[in-house]
Amino acid sequence: MTNWREKEAKYFLRAGKRMDLLAVRGEGTRIWDEHGREYLDFFGGPATISLGHSHPVVVDALVDQAKQLIHVSNSFYSIPQLQLAELLIEHSCFDRVYFMNSGAEANEGALKIARKWGKEKKNGAFEIISAVNAFHGRTLQMITAGGTERYKAPFSPLPEGFIHVPFNDADAIRQATTPRTVAVFLEPIQGEGGINVPDDDYLKRVRAWCDEQNILLILDEVQTGCGRTGALFAYELFGVEPDIVTLGKGIGSGVPLSAFLVKEHAAVFTPGDHGSTYGGEPLTTRVGYEVMKYIIDNDIPGQVAQKAKAVERRLHSLMDRCPHVTEVRGKGLMWAVQFSGDIGERVTNDALAAGLIVNNVRPNAVRLAPPLTISDDDLEHGLTILEHVIEDAIGASK
């Protein structure tokens, strides 16, 4: 049998860590390895495969569109792109949309708009206020915006114009604001930073400050968008409307697609300002259209909000039983379980051995982000495995 792990060691540019799983097939909430062993996928991409692995809606869209038209330049009109545009605009607070291929690129587009808006409408203001521990992607500008030191340090000099403040601290944003500030750029709930849920009034206070100061509010909903939090977009949960939002991950349920959506007053791009070879091509936008239509038509956000109650109940009862589980936090189907010590890796590995894929989002925390379409039985089963693994790991680390 081919030793794929040896090939990886020999040929692959290792820029990230892998877990010891060679995935060969996926269906719904399950993945199978090369030996046919089955795993429940509570990592989900991360948070990417919104409809689960190889959902028929995605597969049929891919096959049907591939036969018709895979790619055509953005110099031409194409139908799936415009169908998805209409669907997103009609179901959000925004007026215009542009499509890209990845979360980082959607964020780049959003910040380019903000810079141009600053030049045209705000005396050349250019500074972006973003949060410590944020994650916005891996381009040079996004590692700078993200404020995680270890992602940035090897790659300096970095782009200018970013100010970092603690997350969930609206006063810090007020204090960091200067006449040069053009935008505040935040995740509504920090995903890669460990599922950090802000206070209910945080984004409202930030929105009010941005209004008062004529600053754009840009929300990165690459992880929180498209039903993940139990609302179609997380900004609805917090009762605010940003000026720009970015979407990625779940919008394509595993197919590379992202978007930035803008309100009219901020939509300052004019022809020639932006572009992408693949962004918005028929193949990926057809998938995005069918995925979003499925999410909306089947009230997936409402179902997610229901399932969240079961997750919350189970995780809180785990916390009550285990003093070493210090916090559980999340919304919808994005949750973190935090421990008193750095046992995240051990829990992740033990869960894998027990047939459950979770992710150690922090050294002391694991993240759960299963497909939004997960059945109640699979959800309960996965949580049961996780509880046993955590209890064992805590027993062993005492």
Residue of 263, 272, 222, 229 lying closest to 243 (CA atoms): 263
Secondary structure (DSSP) of 202-219: HHHHHHHHHHHHT-EEEE
In a 10 Å sphere around its CB, with 0-12 CB exposed, 13-18 middle and 19+ buried, how is residue 264 labelled? exposed
Residue closer to ligand PLP, measured from CB, 245 or 337? 245
CB of 284 to ligand PLP, least distance (A): 12
Q: Are 134 and 306 in contact (CB under 8 A)?
A: no
> Measured from the CB atom, is 125 or 247 closer to ligand PLP?
247
Q: Is 1 exposed, middle or buried (0-12, 13-18, 19+ CB in 10 A)?
A: exposed
| Minimal distance, residue 216 CB to ligand PLP, in Å | 17
Dihedral of alpha carbons 362, 226, 299, 67, sign: negative
Q: Minimum CB separation from ligand PLP for residue 225, in Å? A: 9
Radius of gyration of the CA atoms of the chain, in A: 21
Which of 153, 151, 154, 126 minimizes the C-alpha distance to 137?
151
223 in contact with ligand PLP (CB under 6 A): yes
Check residue 50 for interaction with ligand PLP (CB under 6 A).
Answer: no
Chain centroid offset of residue 253 CA: 12
Q: Is 220 an annotated catalytic residue?
A: yes
Residue 280 CB, nearest distance to ligand PLP (Å)?
Answer: 15
Choice between 85 and 251, CB closer to ligand PLP: 251
Residues 6 or more apart whose CB falls under 8 angstroms from that of 320 comprise none
With respect to ligand PLP, which residue has the nearer C-beta, 300 or 334? Answer: 334
Q: 136 vs 207, which CB is nearer to ligand PLP?
A: 136
Q: Which of 127, 169, 220, 378 binds ligand PLP (CB under 6 A)?
A: 220
Task: Return d(Cα 188, Cα 198) in angstroms, integer.
Answer: 8
Whether 92 and 242 have beta carbons less than 8 Å apart is answered as no
Judged by CB under 6 A, the chain residues 323 through 362 that form the site for ligand PLP are none
Nearer to ligand PLP, 136 or 286 (CB): 136
Q: How many residues interact with ligand PLP (rule CB under 6 A)?
A: 15
Nearest of 240, 215, 247 to residue 114 by alpha carbon: 215
- The least CB distance from residue 260 to ligand PLP, in Å, is 12
- In this chain, which stretch among 68-76, 158-166, 174-182, 216-224 interacts with ligand PLP, using CB under 6 A? 216-224
Q: Does 222 bind ligand PLP (CB under 6 A)?
A: yes
User: What's the chain's length in residues?
Assistant: 398
Minimum distance, C-beta of residue 102 to ligand PLP, in the bound complex (Å): 3
Window of 23-31, 81-89, 96-104, 207-215 that interacts with ligand PLP by CB under 6 A: 96-104
CB of 265 to ligand PLP, least distance (A): 24
Question: What distances in angstroms separate CA 346 from CA 102, 119, 324, 379, one per listed residue?
Answer: 30, 50, 14, 21
Q: Nearer Cβ to ligand PLP, position 250 or 282?
A: 250
In the set 116, 122, 249, 307, the catalytic residue is 249
Does residue 248 belong to the site contacting ligand PLP (CB under 6 A)?
yes
Q: Distance between CA atoms of 161 and 17, rounded to whole angstroms?
A: 31
User: Going by C-beta distance under 8 Å and a sequence separation of 6 or more, which residues neighbour residue 355?
Assistant: 37, 38, 39, 40, 385
Helix (H) or strand (E) holding 326: strand 325-331
Residues numbered 100 to 159 that lie near ligand PLP (CB under 6 A) are 102-104, 107, 135-137
Residue 181 or 258 having the CB closest to ligand PLP: 258
Site string for ligand PLP, 189-208 (x = CB under 6 A): --xx----------------
CB of 195 to ligand PLP, least distance (A): 11
User: Which strand ranges, in their side-by-side order, compose the sheet holding 38-41?
Assistant: 23-27, 30-33, 38-41, 356-357
Q: Does 294 bind ligand PLP (CB under 6 A)?
A: no
Site residues (vs ligand PLP, CB under 6 A): 102-104, 107, 135-137, 187, 191-192, 220, 222-223, 248-249
Residues assigned a catalytic role: 135, 220, 249
